[in-house]
Amino acid sequence: MFYQAIQYIKFLFKSTNQHGVHSPFVYNLVTKCFYDTANYEAYKNISAYKKQLLQDHTKITVTDLGKGSHVTKQQERTISEIAKNTGTTIKRAKLLYRLSAYFNFENILELGTSLGIATHAMSLANPKSEITSIEGCPMISEYTKTTFEKHHLKNISLITGDFNDIIKNLTPKTFDLIFFDGNHQKEATLQYFETLTQTAHNDSVFIFDDIYWSKEMTEAWETIKQHPKVTVTIDTFFWGVVFFRKEQVKEDFVVRV
């Protein structure tokens, strides 16, 4: 947590808003999506979904295949604890909704379903999209799958298992969005990234959650930024957003959201 606090102070000094962005593509994204203040109807559903999770005191046994939680290492946790401590925040879920709607993503891959707060937001943004979401913990996966059914989210395919094994056996296709929100370890993150760049097209977007989770996650982010296929990146502190647009000049942005 100390590492994150120091990095956040550095981020504040380096970051800018839309006035410091000179790329038309990124400027439009920041002003029309990141800073969009409209109160979308879907926001009520996103908030209600998380509220329901926060009120659920069902206990489950958690199997952490990744780095786990900064808050607790206990294997038995309540749904409400998971939603509060490791679930996607309402602010980020709303931003993910706006991003999904702005780019109209059709084929989405998510590494790390957890309780499905982010998945739910992406599903609402484009009900016609096809979302493949992978969760490593069997009990969380089973709970979330049932919750999706209760909310009639029919465009989500939830797969349980190790990310590496499932990624290698995915039906060959391209993804418009890949949301990396599971294993917060450097080697694993870079391995997933290298494997999944093969599924990227010119307009694909990769989002990496918690790039300042630890020193090694920041190192992974710095390595990703230097990849020859990557052109534009946006550091929002909590997310690292990656673009592969060949028509863009290679540039890295640090933007407050």
**How many residues in total does the chain contain?**
257
Cα angle 97, 138, 151 (rounded to 5 degrees) comes to 40
Q: Are strands 107-111 and 130-135 parallel, antiparallel or unpaired?
A: parallel
In this prediction the pTM is: 0.94
Where are the alpha helices (H) located in 130-185, listed in sequence order? Answer: 138-150, 163-168
Percentage helix, strand, coil for the chain under 3-state DSSP, each rounded to 5: 45, 20, 35
Domain assignment present for 134: yes
Q: Is the pLDDT of residue 208 over 70?
A: yes
pLDDT at position 63: 83
Cα 221 to Cα 187, 197, 242, 246, 252: the distances in Å are 11, 15, 10, 20, 12
CA 252 – CA 230 distance, rounded (Å):
10
Q: Is residue 255 very low, low, confident or very high in pLDDT (cuts 50, 70, 90)?
A: very high
Give me the CATH number covering residue 116. Answer: 3.40.50.150
What does the pLDDT read at residue 194? 96
pLDDT score at 68: 47
Q: Are 83 and 52 in contact (CB under 8 A)?
A: no
Q: Mean pLDDT across the stretch 187-209?
A: 97
Give the pLDDT band of residue 20 (cuts 50, 70, 90): confident
In a domain, 58, yes or no: no
Under the banding of pLDDT at 50, 70 and 90, the label for residue 173 is confident
Average pLDDT, the chain: 94
Give the confidence band of 70 by pLDDT, cuts at 50, 70, 90.
very low
Q: Give the model's pLDDT for residue 71.
A: 45
Residue 81 belongs to a domain: no
Mean pLDDT over 93-98 rounds to: 98
Quote the pLDDT of residue 55.
97
Is 55 within the bounds of a domain? no
| CB atoms closer than 10 angstroms to residue 236 | 20
Model confidence at 248: pLDDT above 90: yes
| H or E segment and range at residue 188 | helix 186-196
Domains in the chain: how many in total? 1
Establish if 142 belongs to a structural domain: yes
Class of residue 45 by CB neighbours under 10 A (exposed 0-12, middle 13-18, buried 19+): middle
Query: Per residue in 119-168, pLDDT tens?
Result: 999 999 999 999 999 999 999 999 999 999 999 999 999 999 999 999 98
- Residue 92 forms part of a structural domain: yes
- Judge whether residue 43 has pLDDT over 80: yes
Domain that holds residue 183: 2-49+88-254
In whole angstroms, what is the distance from residue 231 CA to residue 238 CA?
20
Q: What's the distance, CA 113 to chain centroid? A: 9
Please report whether residue 67 resides in a domain.
no
Q: What number is the average pLDDT over the span 48-65?
A: 91
Q: What was the pLDDT predicted at 40? A: 98
- Across the beta sheet with 232-235, what order do the strands follow? 156-160, 130-135, 107-111, 175-180, 200-209, 239-243, 232-235, 251-254
Average pLDDT over residues 35-62: 96
Interval 224-237 mean pLDDT: 98
86 contacts 114 by C-beta, under 8 angstroms: yes
Whether residue 200 is contained in a domain is answered as: yes
Q: Is 69's pLDDT higher than 50?
A: no
